[in-house]
Amino acid sequence: GETILITAQRMHRNTKQDSVTRANEYHANRRNVFTMYVNASKSGRPLATGHYAEGTDLHRVYCELVQSMQQCETLGQKHRELVEAALANESQTTNPEQLKLIKGAYEDLNSANDNHTKIMQMWDATCAAFRDETSATAAAMSKSDIATADTTAYILRVASAVSKTDVTDLASAESIVDGAVNDARKIRVQFKKATALREKAKKAKNKAIAAAEPTEPIEEAVATAEDAP
């Protein structure tokens, strides 16, 4: 009856809510990890091993990014030092060997910067993929939780019994059970109203009968009649 319908409905809703909660927790954890990587990438700070997202493309590309940033910084420092040394000693500004060193350092720095630009593009793409994968996995988790839940099998059986057909689609089962619950509630409300009206009519009838009956006892009425002239 209505109890079975409401039980199936509530159990299924609880399953869906639990599934959403689990998916949201997964999504939040991944978002926190992602934020750590993004913040660290801005400073080139290496993350401690054994934590976060080791084994993922995000971690691999991040390590390449940090290494590239450090390489650019090292080569930039080397180039600056060579230039400053040459400027400090006027003879070095025309020294072929010194100029060759400066040129080589400059070319190495340019090559490292070009490589860093490519890694930055790869990093941006990897970040986007990580976000998409997180959303897709969370959605798949939620869908799997619901599909394999005992409460799902139960609501499908209840919907099949109500519709007298083999219901296999969950959305259809939800619609059928929700409709049946609403119909059962309407019937219960109508029955309650009808019962109340019957009780009201019964009370009114009893009141009318009581009003029509003589108020004085029969014996007293007879005695009064005999005493009359």
Query: Over the stretch 73-124, which tens digit does the pLDDT of each residue have?
Result: 999 999 998 888 888 777 666 778 888 888 999 999 999 999 999 999 999 9
Question: Looking at the 3D structure of the chain, how many domains does it have?
Answer: 2
Residue after which a domain boundary falls, among 117, 148, 179:
148
Looking at the fold, whether 102 and 140 belong to one and the same domain comes out as yes
The pLDDT of residue 228 = 47
Buried residues in 114-150 as b, exposed as e (16+ CB within 10 A): eebeebeeebeebbeebeeebeeebeebbeebbeebe
- pLDDT-derived band at 138 (thresholds 50, 70, 90) equals very high
Q: Which residue is it, tokens 């319908």?
A: 5
What separation, in Å, do the N-terminal and C-terminal C-alpha atoms of the chain show?
72
Looking at the fold, whether 180 and 223 belong to one and the same domain comes out as yes
Looking at the fold, whether 134 and 185 belong to one and the same domain comes out as no
Encode pLDDT of 160-184 as tens digits.
998 898 988 888 988 999 898 888 8
Looking at the fold, whether 104 and 182 belong to one and the same domain comes out as no
**Angle between helices 170-212 and 2-43 in degrees, nearest 10:** 140
Structure-block tokens of residue 187 = 């019937």
* Structural domain for 194, as ranges: 170-227
- Classify 203 as helix, strand or coil: helix
163 located within any domain: no
Give phi and psi for 50, each to the nearest 5: 85, 10
1 located within any domain: no
Looking at the fold, whether 205 and 97 belong to one and the same domain comes out as no
The pLDDT of residue 85 = 82
Looking at the fold, whether 73 and 121 belong to one and the same domain comes out as yes
Looking at the fold, whether 30 and 120 belong to one and the same domain comes out as yes
The closest of 82, 81, 73, 61 to 109, measured between CA atoms, is 73
47 located within any domain: yes
Structure-block tokens of residue 115 = 């490589």
Contact call for residues 23 and 141 (beta carbons, < 8 A): yes
Q: Kindly tell me if the per-residue pLDDT of 222 is higher than 80.
A: no
Residue after which a domain boundary falls, among 148, 179, 208:
148
96 located within any domain: yes
Looking at the fold, whether 38 and 142 belong to one and the same domain comes out as yes
CB atoms within 10 A of CB 44: 14
The closest of 143, 166, 146, 164 to 156, measured between CA atoms, is 166
Encode pLDDT of 18-76 as tens digits.
999 999 999 999 999 899 899 888 877 777 665 667 788 999 999 999 999 999 999 99
- pLDDT-derived band at 137 (thresholds 50, 70, 90) equals very high
Looking at the fold, whether 91 and 184 belong to one and the same domain comes out as no
More confident call, 27 vs 200? 27
Q: Kindly tell me if the per-residue pLDDT of 204 is higher than 90.
A: no
Strands (E), the chain: none
54 located within any domain: yes
Q: Kindly tell me if the per-residue pLDDT of 220 is higher than 90.
A: no
CA distance 83 to 77: 10
- pLDDT-derived band at 225 (thresholds 50, 70, 90) equals very low
The pLDDT of residue 31 = 92
Looking at the fold, whether 183 and 139 belong to one and the same domain comes out as no
164 located within any domain: no
Looking at the fold, whether 223 and 137 belong to one and the same domain comes out as no
223 located within any domain: yes
Looking at the fold, whether 63 and 113 belong to one and the same domain comes out as yes
13 located within any domain: no
